[in-house]
Structure 1
Amino acid sequence: MITSYILDFGLIEIYEDYIKVTINEGVTVSPEHNDVLLEMVEKHYKNKAFLYLTHRINSYAVNPTIYLETAKIENLIGFAVVSDNPIQEKQTKLEKAFFSKELKRFDDIESALQWKTELLEKYHGTFY
């Protein structure tokens, strides 16, 4: 890990080629949270491909329209949802309808990181 940020809505961890976000219990993720993501991208991933990994260990709500803006981040190669909760499978399908890039749910972080590696190979050289 390169660095981390503890914010009022959750924990953001910055890695070489992915950002891992763990949202706090009871939060409703809204477009304002996207502004924080944009700041992180500008600071840590400028002109570099990266994956967004959300580790859903807490119960919280997501306004799915947030994905319309998130998908506009040019160097974002994909969005991984990590949760072993069966409800998240349905939630992820709903969210995917609003997200024009690759979005996939995984039961564990290791599987999500393997997918990240595959995506980075697919998009190699696109953002450098």
Structure 2
Amino acid sequence: MITSYDLGFGQMDIYDDYVITIMNEGIIVLPEYNDIFLKIVDKHFKNKAFVYITHRINSYSVDPTIYLETAKINNLVGFAVVSNDPIQKMQTKLEKTFFGKNFCQFNTMQDAIHWKEEIIKKEID
């Protein structure tokens, strides 16, 4: 891990070519959170392909329109949701329709990181 941020509404860990977030219990992920995310992305991934992985271990809501703006980040090449909760799996299907890029759901972090490696490799080749 390169660094970690306490965002107030969640935790974001920065790695070489991906981020992992864990959002706080009970929050609503809002489009304005993108401003904070963009500053972090610009600092750590300027002109470098990366993947966003969200580890959904807490219960919270996502405004799916957030993905309309998130998808505009040119160097964001994929978005992964890690959860084995059936409700989260259904939510992920809805969220995916707003993103327009590689967007997958996984039961384990290991599977998400393996997918990330494939997506990044395709982007570099």
In which range does the TM-score fall when normalised by the shorter chain? over 0.9
Equivalence for 1:74: 74
1:123 aligns to what SS in structure 2? Answer: helix
CA apart distance, 1:20: 0.6
CA apart distance, 1:100: 0.7
Structure with greater helix percent:
2
TM-score, normalization by structure 2:
0.98
1:6 has 2:6 as partner: yes
1:57 aligns to what SS in structure 2? Answer: coil
Mapped partners of 1:121, 1:54: distance in 2 = 20
Runs (5+) with no aligned partner, structure 1: none
> What is the 5 A alignment of 1:17-36?
17-36=17-36
Equivalence for 1:124: 124
CA apart distance, 1:84: 1.1
TM-score, normalization by structure 1:
0.96
RMSD of aligned residue pairs (Cα, Å): 0.7
Structure 1: 4+ residue segments shifted above 3 A: none
> What is the 5 A alignment of 1:37-116?
37-116=37-116
CA apart distance, 1:33: 0.7
- What amino acid maps onto 1:92 in structure 2? T
